[in-house]
Amino acid sequence: MAKDDANGKIGPSAQDTQDAEHAQDAQDALLMELPWYLNGTADKQTVAAIERQLAISPAFRDALEAEKALSAGIAQSPSPQFTPLSSPSDALLGPSRDRARPNPLAAFASWLQGDLKRWLIPVAVATACLVVVVVPQVDQGGFETLTTPGADTGALRVLVGDGTTPETVSALAQSHGLAILSGPSDGGVYTFTPQDGTDLEAAAQALAADPQVEFVEQTVK
């Protein structure tokens, strides 16, 4: 930048040269700030310094005019319109969990209206068949306990206490109208069958009360 030379001296002294260099440095520093002075974001101190320089330096004023033209050209350049996504979160992040996991009540209502009707008749038929098959088997005593009324399984499994001899067990069976069918097993269990006219349930209850007997159950027929 040109330095104003208005002091009338012939030839600059060393001090003048040094001062001129300082002034030029200061002006260069302010030139760097011009863009933010023009866009209005420079701090107050910088604004004041620039305005002082503008008041004393025609070259600095020229630089400011050039900068104004440049900034206006850039600031006025239009920007094309871009079309945003209509549903950015779905497009960029994937479907919402809320939508992926429907409301359980709504899903149940939907099932009632649709799938239940479709499956109702086959399920009802299958259930009816199961009842037909299972109920007679229960009536035939497929699995009954000692307390089941009318139980008639035909044999008793009896566990006697340690040290009871086979003869004692045989006598025990006979005393209740029973006979040894098999036993003892590895676990010490005998199988008793009723002799003619023996009420098996009554015999089982009597055996259960006998101190020599530890456990009694009717076998599955």
Partner 1 sequence: MIASRGDDDRALIGAIARGDRKAFDALYRRYHGPLSAFVLKTTRRADLVDDVVNEAMLVIWRSAARFEGRSTVRTWIFGVGYRCGLNAMRAQRKADADAPLEDEVLGTAGAVPAKADEVIARETMARALATLSPEQRAVIELTYYFGYSVAEVADIVDCPAGTVKTRMLAARRRLHQVLGESGGASDG
Residues that bind partner 1 (CB under 8 A): 31-33, 35-36, 38-42, 62-63, 65-67, 69-75, 77-82, 84-85, 87-89, 91-93, 96
- Find, among 191, 180, 209, the residue nearest to 153 by Cα: 191
CB of residue 80 to partner 1, shortest distance in Å: 5
CB of residue 58 to partner 1, shortest distance in Å: 14
CB of residue 6 to partner 1, shortest distance in Å: 24
Please give the radius of gyration of the chain, using alpha carbons only, rounded to the nearest integer. 55
CB of residue 12 to partner 1, shortest distance in Å: 26
Report yes or no: 213 and 158 within 8 Å, Cβ to Cβ.
yes
Which C-beta is closer to partner 1: that of 32 or that of 131?
Answer: 32
CB of residue 82 to partner 1, shortest distance in Å: 4
- Find, among 8, 5, 55, the residue nearest to 30 by Cα: 55
Which string of DSSP letters, residue by residue, matches 158-177? EEEPTT--HHHHHHHHHHTT
- Token readout for 57 is 């330096």
Which C-beta is closer to partner 1: that of 38 or that of 159?
Answer: 38
Which C-beta is closer to partner 1: that of 91 or that of 135?
Answer: 91
How far is 124 from 126, CA to CA, in rounded Å?
A: 5
Which string of DSSP letters, residue by residue, matches 30-76? HHHHHHHHHTT-S-HHHHHHHHHHHHH-HHHHHHHHHHHHHHHHHHT
Which C-beta is closer to partner 1: that of 32 or that of 55?
Answer: 32
Cβ neighbours around 101 below 10 Å, total: 9
Which C-beta is closer to partner 1: that of 19 or that of 28?
Answer: 28
Which C-beta is closer to partner 1: that of 53 or that of 218?
Answer: 53
CB of residue 87 to partner 1, shortest distance in Å: 7
